[in-house]
Amino acid sequence: MKQIETVVHEMCRYIEEHASTPLTLHAIAKKSGYSASHLQRRFTMIIGSSPKTYQSAIRNQRLKQSLKHQESLGSAIYGAGFGSSSRVYEKLSTTLGMTPKQYRNGGSGLTIYYAMSRTRLGWMLLAAAERGICFLQFAEDKDALAKELRAEFPNAELSGMPRTQNKLFSAWMRQLNDYLDGKLKTLDLPLDIRGTAFQKLVWDYLQTIPAGETRSYTDVAVAIGKPAAVRAVASACASNTIAIAIPCHRVIRGNGDLAN
């Protein structure tokens, strides 16, 4: 029998090829030659998500690509393998941080609140939509941070932190500052993560790297079941807009140098 790591990677390809088809864990396990419980456990350990979550991520990625090409909502939804538009609006408003229509329109109609604070790393800009933090970056120039936020969400309505959210934002800011000062070892923040299926695989894995440890781009690529995608891993790290909470700083080049 093949090694389980090889089988898991083969099942990733199988899920990708049949992403629009309803797949049960039992059917995938039968294809793999392993029991459902064993496959589920090892798949999650190696890839960082269950087979069901992996398939959902692939569908989400295809839907995003279709929406970016301005396909009709109906065609994009059914073409990605979703059974009904209502299920998409229920689930994707969470994974996209907005409805499919808002995503296709570049965030139009979405309100994002933001605030800035001085930290040991310079100015920090923290922005959040209704489901959590969607942008967290550092710079010495406040204006540069504001421009970066606008570039990331060109069609959203950006607004300064409202008084009603002052306590919540202050708590997030305080937790981040305590983390940067070494008073906290982990962060517990609600994140509103947007990205392709591949980017989310990378970012989810990064959040499992223990504080004080590092991984190379190659290590990450192997861990998520994409050993040939080293450059794509580097690109995903560079595309991360939620610094610290998604710890791209724990990924280094193969020669030991820090990544940009």
The residue from 12, 134, 237, 248 that is catalytic is 248
What is 20-68 written as a DSSP string? TS---HHHHHHHHTS-HHHHHHHHHHHHSS-HHHHHHHHHHHHHHHHHH
> Rounded distance, CA 121 to CA 127, Å?
17
Cβ–Cβ < 8 Å for 40, 51? yes
Task: Take residue 169 and report the two structure tokens written for it.
Answer: 């934002």
Asked about 237 being catalytic, the answer comes back as no
CA distances from 68 to 103, 134, 219, 235 (A): 8, 20, 31, 19
Return phi, psi of residue 49, to 5°.
Answer: -155, 160
Which sequence positions are flagged as catalytic? 248
